[in-house]
Structure 1
């Protein structure tokens, strides 16, 4: 039996968003290298005196067992897509060499057991494969007069390899389900807000607008024959328009409450950033603003840009706490404006950053992204390598919003 356990790969699927090794980036190439790396020592090396490894003589290398080594190494290349058949092939090849100097397929068996735990859909084959491997290991140890302690250690390594693969598969499944739940929750939030806004706009405003349309049509029809009636109809249009505007302002105030601001006052824009920055500085956030805009932008872009910066600073204060160093960058481009909000995540509440940013998304980031998408823009929010978060929004200033 092979006295050394091979180094198996570190799977990257179970740790989303972290280091992705070669077995995740280039699975086919990495599996080919792994199969070759296991085949060569299995073919060239054998156990020597005192648990040492020595190079086989040429006559021992050119042995019929070489065909078994080749078949086992080639089978390992398919260990992801066909893990159970691969384990069967490797165990059969090992069984044919038990008790001989060519019984060095233990490393391939360990990798095959790990692959069954990591990639097999049917969980029943894992324990069966572990039992078969331990039986073969015991027979090989008895025939070669290996100490029972070494046999027990080999059995522990083989069962541990399968168990490790199984645990990583379960963890990867939980991570995949969490990502699906996050995506479903984000879609639910967007759908809920859009449905709410559409229903309220229809119920509150559509009636007034319909009245305005009817009154305006009546005024046009009687304008030549009954000027007084036309004036009365236009007065009704004016009154209905004022009521619709008041109700619309009230509705938007309910949907997007803005504490401390007069609901009937003008909407804020990028010109109001100094006051916003002063407010968050009073709350303890260390904010700096760089860049700026030379030309005026459409009102819808101006308002959305202000709201995105406001929500981003609120998120930093909420998840990282006072003392967090934050930078807001504004940059004008040929087809729009770019907003970048950076924070170092080192405030007094830094312990809650992971919970706030890696849990289910709330209305904050979803709402900011929805604002950008409605303008035909984009918004990305990603963790920074050294801690904190980076939010980048691009808002077009030309063309029609989507």
Structure 2
């Protein structure tokens, strides 16, 4: 497979020693003829061409950038010592100044501020000593020019380092933002799953309880009252259809296709009379008292009130006993909505309900998952909920919803 330019660049970034070594070899190769051709700004008086030892020192100094990513400060000191040695021997330093500039830039771009300042200081001190040891004006001018270039390379290297740090901070911030977004998404999904679970429990528990009671009544009167049995079976069919419709609406929110599921509006306080009629048909005498200001409720509170009444009446139907009665009171006052569901039942010990599946032994044992979900709903909207037996017998669910600053 052919290497693309991007792939080659990435490979070289992962193996920095190879391009650095190639650059150092090229500099060393160019330094040998340059040493014989003279200095950059002419051949000052008193300087000689380097001998074999001098050429060896020049080549060694020019090869130092090969380790500029690993030991840049050490290599810079080495180049400075070689330049000082050649100056004491009155021999040309050739292109050692180029190697020094490369090392100063590398330290400024890849090391901390303190070490980079030390590197710049070492380079400038070396230039000052070389200027002091120089015998000609041209030689001094060349060293001063190299000092200016070293300062420029240091500033450039620091700018590159700061830009890299800024870009790294931006990438890190983007990654943290993405992680926070994913965490929020997971939390929202978990909350939505919990909400759907509560809704499904409310729908299934209510309708299945109604169907169970109606089926039991139909079984008891099947031989003696066929018309009553047919009416009970018809009620079971209607309740089952209503349960399927509500479950279809809830499961519709889980679809991932582009076409949105057709869903009816969520039930609310206006649907409580129909719920009470359904409970009466199921065999639970229920009285409804609704009153108050009648202002439009927030959608969440509206649904929470309906589910609270639905769950409380379902518990009355299942646990209160065959002779029990229920009262539902919904009062909307200034800044508060009061909801109360009471019954006068004494448990399912009476004949006819003792065989129903899932009925506990006393009317006080009603705090199942449904009422736990009701507690969560009421707490979500800052309400107060009281659940427990009545002093005169039976069971009571009493909730107060504040209607100011409701989310």
Rg larger in structure: 2
Q: TM-score of the superposition, structure 2-length normalised?
A: 0.48
